[in-house]
């Protein structure tokens, strides 16, 4: 059985990164998030995502990666904005594109 190297979920975008590259990714991802958020209309702007504070340490002295990843995933999902027509959730910049084609359901 081949074992995958451990990965950590980015709390901003929700993607998985290696334990060494997450420290490089997070500042760049946050900068990108700020740039994209500033381009949005004021009503779609979101508060800055906060890094989850999780201090769960296993008996061997390591952080519980599953709990850390779950908290980061939840943080990334909280950044999604619901469509006011259909209720689906999107990243703020994608919501604008979606709303161009989203139509209310017609009752039959």
Please give the full DSSP string across 19-70, using - where no structure is assigned: TTTHHHHHHHHHHHHHHHHHHS-GGG--PPPPPP----B-TTS-B-HHHHHH
Taking residue 31's Cβ as centre, other Cβ atoms within 10 Å add up to 11
Residue 61 confidence (pLDDT) above 70: no
Per-residue pLDDT, 107: 67
What counts of helices (H) and strands (E) characterise the chain?
3, 4
User: How many Å apart are CA 9 and CA 19, to the nearest integer?
Assistant: 10
Average pLDDT over residues 58-77: 76
Q: With bands split at pLDDT 50, 70 and 90, how would you rate the model's confidence at 62?
A: low
Average pLDDT over residues 33-47: 86
Residue 25 confidence (pLDDT) above 90: yes
The whole-model pTM stands at 0.71
Cα 61 to chain centroid distance, Å, stands at 27
Cα 92 to chain centroid distance, Å, stands at 11
Per-residue pLDDT, 56: 56
Q: With bands split at pLDDT 50, 70 and 90, how would you rate the model's confidence at 63?
A: low
């Amino acid at each position: 059985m081949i074992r995958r190297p451990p990965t950590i979920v980015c709390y901003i975008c929700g993607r998985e990164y290696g334990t060494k590259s997450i420290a490089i990714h997070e500042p760049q991802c946050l900068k990108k998030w700020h740039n994209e958020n500033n381009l949005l209309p004021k009503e779609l702007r979101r508060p800055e995502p906060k890094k989850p504070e999780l201090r769960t340490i296993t008996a061997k002295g390591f952080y519980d990666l599953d709990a850390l990843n779950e908290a980061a995933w939840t943080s990334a999902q909280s950044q999604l904005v619901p469509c006011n027509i259909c209720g689906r959730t999107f990243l703020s910049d994608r919501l604008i594109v979606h709303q161009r084609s989203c139509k209310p359901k017609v009752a039959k």
